[in-house]
Amino acid sequence: MTSPQPTTYRVSPSPLGDLLTVGGPAGISGMYLSAQRWAPAIDADWVRDDAAFPDVVAQMQEYLAGERTTFSVALDLRGTSFQLQVWERLRAIPYGQTRSYAELAVAVGRPRAFRAVGLANGRNPVSVIVPCHRVIGSGGSLTGYGGGLERKRALLALEGATLTLGAWGGAERAL
């Protein structure tokens, strides 16, 4: 019997603050902004490798420079089946667009579960790549973001997003 691969982590600087990237051979299981709500503490069993995940770091640098609109990194997401379903729907929100929590609830087939969708969204372990920052309040307001509302506003501005009230032809307003 082989022992499991240790969890690897890397801390890299970014314009948003330090990024903690966590993962293993199957892909990244977490990417957290500094001082992000729900970010894990670095476990004593984790192995720091400042050369790990070069594709993730490069793609994040390109995204933050406005040169990339999609990511092609391997993910090893871990959560409940409902969380995984919500996170998959988050990945379907196009660059520069927003959706409300209510719209996301409809998209996962649970139209009354917008609060549960909000909780799953908040527990997203892979910031930016799984774009939870693209989810806004039903009235078009910027609501909770584990990395802070200023970072959410900055990410949406980077993408040129407008706050869309209804993703299918509703009113828009600039950030």
- For residue range 3-48, list pLDDT tens digits in order: 467 799 999 999 989 999 999 999 999 999 888 878 888 999 999 9
- Count of the separate structural domains present in the chain: 2
Phi, psi (deg, nearest 5) at residue 34 = -55, 140
Task: Point out the catalytic residue in the list 75, 132, 155, 163.
Answer: 132
Residue 171 clears pLDDT 70, i.e. is over it: no
CATH number of the domain that 156 lies in?
1.10.10.10
Strand 19-24 relative to strand 8-12: parallel, antiparallel, unpaired?
Answer: antiparallel
pTM for the model stands at: 0.86
Give a yes or no: residue 128 inside a domain.
yes
Residue 165 clears pLDDT 80, i.e. is over it: no
Confidence bin at 163 (pLDDT 50/70/90): low
Calculate what percentage of the chain has a pLDDT beyond 70: 90
Confirm whether 132 is a catalytic residue. Answer: yes
**Model pLDDT, residue 164:** 54
Residue 143 shares a structural domain with residue 118? yes
Give a yes or no: residue 96 inside a domain.
yes
Average pLDDT along the chain = 88
Name the DSSP letter for residue 150: H
Parent domain of 111: 81-173
Residue 14 shares a structural domain with residue 94? no
